[in-house]
Structure formats: structure tokens, C-alpha cells
Amino acid sequence: MASSETDYDVAALTAKLKSFALTQTKSDSKMDSKTVGKMAKECWPKALHPRVDSSVFPKVMDKTTKSINLNNETQVKMFISEAAKQYDDVTKKTKEFQKHEKLLAEKIIAADLGIKKAAVSKTGGVDKMTDTSKYTGAHKERFDESGKGKGADGRTDKVENSGYVESRIAKARAAFASLRNIWKSTAISIKIKIRIFKSNIIGVLLYGAESWKVTKGIVHRLDVFQTKCLRRILKVFWPNTISNKDLYQRTSTSPISEMIKMRRWKWIRHVHRMAATSIPKIAMRWTPAGKRNRGRPKETWRRSVEKEMKECGWTWGRIQNMAADRQRWRSSVKALCAS
């Protein structure tokens, strides 16, 4: 209820401050300096903000707890009174103290403290986000017909059953971090840094990659890691940007997909030059008995290899003949990986 002394509703003011304090500090009995600063920014004039931190709060706060006790009505009134005095000084209207005291208190009571309002686009941006018929590309795959997000299941770059890839990325990230002094050094040239990156980081990242099952999601995760590392080596940070194409040219590197393909075909030649009774050579062409389950075939190492063979018009017999000629193999594989 409003009193003649203050001319504003002290009970409503205290209740609003308590509810705001609860959202900030999980306690409705006190307000610290940070909470008071946030409150001032949300509902008081901008000119008063610096005075709240430097003058108002230090004068009113409890010296022991370094906070304002919201259960103490006198201290709450002192807080509003001191803020009004500072606002009088800022606006140069010293005869309007009581008017400003009431103004500041009512601004707190009327404000939606701690509540963030969603901005509504005048061009219908909100409608586009809720109308699933207007979704395209990745958005169409990440949301269902009702507009509800699918979470991780809706991500096109989600890596399924690729614990080995995540393990290699984690190890490569640790190796990259351990050499941070080299990447930051101004005494080492970019050329030397890239050579160290290729030998120490790419070597760790792609260990055993010739036998990996490769999908778009896996390649995407690996490419993101590589380009992120290269940008740090070149010291290209936001807001400065560089395209991946220019990044590869400046560092004389290639996408991870090309590196994996080169390693895979190098290993294929090695297997084809083994004896016919060797286990790796038998396993490469072996087909299990029975029928597979219904549905889309899962991506496997062999299917990815046969897909590349089909694009070039190769057969297993031709590959066996090419494997015997080193120069012919190198030129053929180089052309395959460059396409």
C-alpha cells in the first residue's frame, strides 16, 4: 500500500525486487552489486547507470554482506532515495527529488525484470520459422511437420557409429594443442609450420584412415577440424575470413577426403600385390553368404571403393593388372583423387 511519506507502493516494489533477485542469485532476500546493475539497466534511465555502481549501491549496501537486504524495508527505501538523489544530480533538477523517487520506484514495479521478449520481425520472420512448408535444405531435415526440432537425429552432419573418427580427432586436437608455442611463434615460417602440421597432426588424425568407412558426415567433421587448425596457424580470426579454397592454396594442402582417398588406393595396391592366399586379399573380395536385411544398404568401405571404381570404369581385374605397374597406378590414382 502506498504511504504519504514515499508516495509509492513499497510492498509492490519489494516484491518485484525479490522476484528479480531470485532469478539472478537464487535468493530473494538480498541483491548484490551485479544484480542491482542488471536491474538498473533494464528499467532505469541510461544516464543513471554509472551512478548506481559507483555511488548508490556503495552507500546503501550492508557492509558485512556487501548486498542490499530486501527484508529490510528501510534499506529498500534508502536505495530508491539515494538513486533519486543521483538522478536529480544527473538531470540538474534538484527541486524534483520526490518526483524522481516515485518515478524510479514505479519503473521497477512496471518493468518485466528478468524476462527476455522475443523480437517479432516486421517482415514475417517468425512466421517463416514456424511455417514448415517454407523450410529448405538443412532446416527441412532438422524440423518435423509441426515445427518441432528433431535434435541430434535431424542433423545432416551427424556421424553415426564413428567412434574411431572422434577418437582420432581428439588425439589430433591434443597433439595440435601441445604444439601451440610453435603455431604462435613469429620466428618460424608458415612453410615450416605447415610441414610440422602435416607430419605431426595429419599423421595422427588419419592413422589407419585407409580402412575407414567414409561418409559425408565423417568427411565434414574431419574437414572442419583441419580448416580450423590451418586458420589458427595463419592467424586468421574473426572478423577476418578466408575461403577454404584460398586456405588450401596458401597452405599447399588438400581436403581430407582427397587424403583419405589417396591412402585408401595406395593400400589397395599394396593388398593386390600380396599373395592370392593372403587374408587381406581374400577379405577384400569376400562376400558373406545369405541375404541382407531390407532397406537402404549401409555405407561400407567396399561400397565406397566400388562406387569410385564405377565412376572411372574400372573393374577388380583391371585394378589387379594396374597394381603391377607402379607408374601407371600412380598416374591413375592421382587422376581419380583429383576428380
Asked if the model's pLDDT at residue 139 lies above 80, the reply is: no
Q: Which residue has the higher pLDDT, 120 or 194?
A: 194
Q: What is the pLDDT of residue 123?
A: 45
E strand or H helix at 68:
strand 68-69
At position 22, the amino acid (one-letter code) is: L
Rounded distance, CA 2 to CA 124, Å?
44
Rounded distance, CA 60 to CA 66, Å?
10
Asked if the model's pLDDT at residue 138 lies above 50, the reply is: no
Of 90, 110, 130, the position where a domain reaches its end is 110
Same-domain status, 230 and 279: no
Helix %, strand %, coil % of the chain (to 5): 65, 5, 35
Same-domain status, 222 and 278: no
CATH code, domain with 92: 1.10.238.10
Bridge partners (DSSP) of residue 149 are: 143
Same-domain status, 219 and 273: no
Residue 239: asked if its preceding bond is cis (omega within 30°), the reply is yes
Q: What is the pLDDT of residue 157?
A: 44
Q: pTM of the full predicted structure?
A: 0.49
Q: What is the pLDDT of residue 193?
A: 94
Of 91, 110, 129, the position where a domain reaches its end is 110
Over the stretch 13-28, which tens digit does the pLDDT of each residue have? 888 888 888 888 778 8
Q: Which cell is 181 given? A: 608455442
Q: Domain count of the chain? A: 3
Asked if the model's pLDDT at residue 156 lies above 60, the reply is: no
Residue 67 lies in a domain: yes
Q: What is the pLDDT of residue 73?
A: 87
Q: What is the pLDDT of residue 150?
A: 63
**Percent of the chain predicted with pLDDT > 70:** 81
Q: Which residue has the higher pLDDT, 331 or 126?
A: 331
Name residues whose C-beta falls within 8 Å of residue 193's C-beta, 6 or more positions apart in sequence. Answer: 182, 183, 233
The string over 305-321, giving b where at least 16 C-beta atoms fall within 10 Å of a residue's C-beta and e elsewhere, is: beebbeeeebeeeebee
Rounded distance, CA 29 to CA 70, Å?
5
At position 208, the amino acid (one-letter code) is: G
Could you tell me the pLDDT band of residue 143, with boundaries at 50, 70 and 90? low
Over the stretch 83-92, which tens digit does the pLDDT of each residue have? 888 888 777 7
Range of the domain at 276: 260-286+301-338
CA dihedral of residues 49, 51, 52, 56 (deg, nearest 10): -160
Residue 32 lies in a domain: yes
Same-domain status, 104 and 14: yes
Could you tell me the pLDDT band of residue 6, with boundaries at 50, 70 and 90? low
Residue 130 lies in a domain: no
Same-domain status, 222 and 268: no
Asked if the model's pLDDT at residue 122 lies above 70, the reply is: no
Rounded distance, CA 128 to CA 126, Å?
5
Q: Cα–chain-centroid distance for residue 145? A: 26
**Backbone φ, ψ for residue 190 (5° rounding):** -60, -35
Looking at residues 285-311, what average pLDDT do you find? 76
Rounded distance, CA 198 to CA 207, Å?
12
Rounded distance, CA 30 to CA 18, Å?
8
Same-domain status, 267 and 243: no
Same-domain status, 89 and 15: yes
Residue 201 lies in a domain: yes
Bridge partners (DSSP) of residue 2 are: 9
Same-domain status, 31 and 51: yes
Residue 2 lies in a domain: no
Same-domain status, 17 and 85: yes
Over the stretch 191-201, which tens digit does the pLDDT of each residue have? 999 999 999 99
Same-domain status, 265 and 280: yes
216-233 helix and 244-251 helix, angle to the nearest 10 degrees: 60
The string over 78-101, giving b where at least 16 C-beta atoms fall within 10 Å of a residue's C-beta and e elsewhere, is: bbbbbbbbbbbeeeeeeeeeeebb
Over the stretch 168-193, which tens digit does the pLDDT of each residue have? 999 999 999 999 999 999 899 999 99
Rounded distance, CA 16 to CA 25, Å?
14
Query: What's the mean pLDDT when you consider all of the chain?
Result: 78
Output the CA–CA distances (angstroms, integers) from residue 115 to 15, 103, 121, in the order listed: 16, 21, 19
Same-domain status, 223 and 277: no
Residue 94 lies in a domain: yes
Q: What is the pLDDT of residue 322?
A: 79
Residue 89 lies in a domain: yes
